[in-house]
Amino acid sequence: MKKTLGAIVAMACFALMSAVASAATVSYGPVNIGPSPTGASGSFGLQQFDPSLGTLTQVDLYVTGNSDGGSNGLQNLSEFDGSATVTIGSDITVSGPASLTVLTFPNNSNTGPVAPYTGAIDFTFSGPDSVLVNGIPSVDSDNSSIFVGLAPYIGLSTVNFNYGSVANTSANANVSPTFSATTAPTFGFEASVTYHYTPVPEPTTLALAGLGALGLAVAVRRKRIAG
């Protein structure tokens, strides 16, 4: 009998530890946005966490941004040799409740020498005094997590996320003055959310834990009587 009670208590302890220590995840998405002209903004929804699954403990937001097209050129207008770097791309921001924010920066850059000014403005940026970058498809991914302020993510509907974008058209040179011109790229992204939670214990686990607790109580009572 003592061995049986001991086994029950051990099983109960194991069941309780499993119920407390277990963790699970569920993911929704991705939602695909774009392509859109860089500078556009908007919103989209992702599925909330179903509270019947358990207790929500963490929310992860994953974003893969992309940029395509556009151009950025720089021409040296000085009488000196130099070098320049031009970039074309999109800076994309996606944010949800409780300051859950992800930034991505898909872009293309080109660095090269620039000869002294040739004497005429070149809008094609094809001469030796110029550097040009043409946007080709580029991607950048990042993610972010929150552990507090999770209430807006819990429910049976959707949680709202906002997004925005600005063009990355930086142009830098170690000579001055310079002339530069850009055409805007397009952007897009995909976003998904992962919920980390502690599951609600299964009925069999709760029953086993209760049986073990009862066995433990009986064992303690018998020990007191014997003592």
Q: What is the pLDDT of residues 71-127, one digit of tens each?
A: 999 999 999 999 999 999 999 999 999 999 999 999 999 999 999 999 999 999 999
Please tell me the distance from the alpha carbon of residue 120 to that of residue 176, in angstroms, as a whole number: 16
pLDDT value for 22 = 78
Residue among 190, 191, 195, 192 nearest 154 (CA): 195
Upper half-sphere CA count for residue 214 (Cβ side, 13 Å) = 6
Instruction: Burial-class residue 56 by CB neighbours within 10 Å (0-12, 13-18, 19+).
Output: buried
Does any domain span residue 7? no
Does any domain span residue 222? no
Please tell me the distance from the alpha carbon of residue 105 to that of residue 139, in angstroms, as a whole number: 8
Does any domain span residue 68? yes
Does any domain span residue 2? no
Q: Parallel, antiparallel, or unpaired: how do β-strands 107-114 and 178-183 relate?
A: unpaired
Count structural domains, the chain: 1
Please tell me the distance from the alpha carbon of residue 178 to that of residue 79, in angstroms, as a whole number: 11
Does any domain span residue 214? no
Instruction: Burial-class residue 24 by CB neighbours within 10 Å (0-12, 13-18, 19+).
Output: exposed
Does any domain span residue 192? yes
Q: What is the pLDDT of residues 149-201, one digit of tens each?
A: 999 999 999 999 999 999 999 999 999 999 999 999 999 999 999 999 999 98
- Within 10 angstroms of residue 143's Cβ, the number of other Cβ atoms is 15
- Supply the range of the domain harboring residue 119: 23-199
Token pair of 28 as six digits:
């929704």
Strand partners, 192: 62
Does any domain span residue 3? no
Does any domain span residue 40? yes
